[in-house]
């Protein structure tokens, strides 16, 4: 099933697409537009947003493409601790998978005292003039916007982490590596705030842009099929780890047939070489894209609680 949304209607996607009795989790209550006056670097003809429902039975699985109005949807913690996480769903830079790697995590984190912000980021091959940096521009803006409105959402502007999955894991890792990179000129006071995450959790992430390790679809859509070694390196987060990178939680299934586990190992090696606190969990089975819903009965079922323990130990929940 597909539906097209005009630019105005896209703003309220999370509200307009309420579940028709099939959803086992709540929809978010708040939407924050990253660029109320229009996203920068726009093509002459904006992409048209399309939502594809891929789910079956009791599980929604929406993939959103053609995002021209990037935004955050908010899952408020029932018992807020001040902790917050920016969530970057995957989708191979072809679309954004908002349910299984977005809304489900948002609900799960909110139930544990962490306010969650799911990012609908622009896709690089849709004609934006800063193509390869477009997702990073949106992620940086999202971090800064959350910090600028921290009091409104009851969060500590310092204790704001990032989590991402697959291509969204690449985006999370890229943000954690290049949070200080001037991806675009400063346009307002929000842009002057820090985009550094308190901690980062790239989950089964795309990291390398070089064959054979690269996920070909993500690579081609992000930097283009004809990209050479210089551009490949520019968009490999492992090549840009700063001395002040945040602590990282990494996990990956070794039988991942889509994104080789070597991607996570590459990132881990770079982090350790820079002396960055890094916790890594490799699972023998679990495949790719397990998120929360596909962990039952596999070793990957432990990853969410392992992440919580890591986050608590690193201070995401504040001082005890």
CB 137, CB 175: distance < 8 Å: no
Angle at 86 between CA 83 and CA 87, to 5 degrees: 125
| Cβ neighbours of 261 (radius 10 Å) | 16
Between 66 and 27, the higher pLDDT residue: 66
Taking residues 129-148, report their average pLDDT: 98
**Could you tell me if 248 and 200 are in contact, meaning their C-beta atoms sit under 8 angstroms apart?**
yes
Q: What percent of the chain has pLDDT over 70?
A: 90
Q: Where are the beta strands (DSSP E) in 188-247?
A: 200-203
Nearest to 242 by CA among 207, 205, 266, 271: 271
Burial 128-158 (b: 16+ CB within 10 A, else e): beebbbbbbbbbbbbbbbbbbebeebebbbe
Q: Which residues contact 320 (CB under 8 A, 6 or more apart)?
A: none
The per-residue pLDDT for range 179-218, each reduced to its tens digit, is 999 999 999 999 999 999 999 999 999 999 999 999 999 9
Nearest to 64 by CA among 17, 96, 16: 96
Q: What pLDDT, on the 0 to 100 scale, is given for residue 29?
A: 65
Residues 6+ apart with CB under 8 A from 36: none
- Which comes out higher in pLDDT, residue 1 or 145? 145
Q: What is the mean pLDDT of residues 86-108?
A: 96
* Confidence (pLDDT) at 75: 95
Residue 266 pLDDT greater than 80, yes or no? yes
CA nearest to 310, candidates 220, 263, 246:
246
Phi, psi of 157, deg, nearest 5? -65, -20
- Strand-pair category, 200-203 with 160-165: parallel
């Amino acid at each position: 099933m597909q539906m097209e949304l005009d630019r105005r209607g896209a703003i309220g996607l999370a509200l307009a697409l309420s579940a028709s009795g099939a959803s086992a989790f709540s929809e978010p209550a708040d939407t924050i537009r990253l660029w109320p006056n229009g996203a920068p670097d726009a093509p002459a003809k904006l992409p048209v947003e399309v939502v594809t429902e891929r789910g079956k039975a009791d599980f929604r699985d929406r993939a959103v493409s053609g995002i021209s109005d990037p935004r955050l949807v908010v899952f408020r913690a029932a018992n807020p601790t001040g902790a917050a996480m920016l969530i970057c769903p995957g989708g191979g830079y072809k679309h954004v998978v908002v349910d299984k790697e977005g809304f489900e995590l948002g609900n799960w984190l909110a139930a544990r005292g962490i306010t969650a912000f799911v990012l609908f980021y622009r896709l690089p091959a849709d004609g934006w003039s800063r193509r390869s940096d477009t997702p990073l521009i949106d992620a940086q803006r999202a971090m800064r916007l959350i910090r600028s409105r921290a009091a409104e959402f009851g969060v500590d502007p310092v204790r704001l982490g990032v989590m991402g999955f697959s291509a969204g894991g690449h985006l999370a890792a890229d943000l954690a590596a290049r949070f200080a990179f001037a991806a675009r000129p400063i346009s307002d006071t929000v842009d002057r705030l820090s985009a550094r995450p308190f901690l980062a959790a790239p989950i089964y992430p795309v990291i390398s842009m070089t064959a054979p390790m690269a996920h070909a679809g993500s690579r081609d859509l992000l930097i283009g099929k004809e990209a050479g070694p210089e551009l490949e390196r520019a968009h490999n987060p492992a090549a840009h780890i700063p001395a002040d990178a945040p602590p990282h939680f990494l996990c990956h299934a070794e039988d991942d047939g889509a994104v080789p586990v070597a991607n996570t190992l590459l990132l881990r090696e770079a982090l350790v070489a820079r002396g960055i606190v890094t916790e890594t969990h490799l699972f023998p089975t679990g495949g790719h894209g397990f998120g929360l819903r596909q962990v039952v009965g596999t070793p990957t079922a432990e990853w969410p609680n392992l992440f919580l323990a890591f986050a608590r130990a690193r201070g995401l929940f504040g001082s005890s």
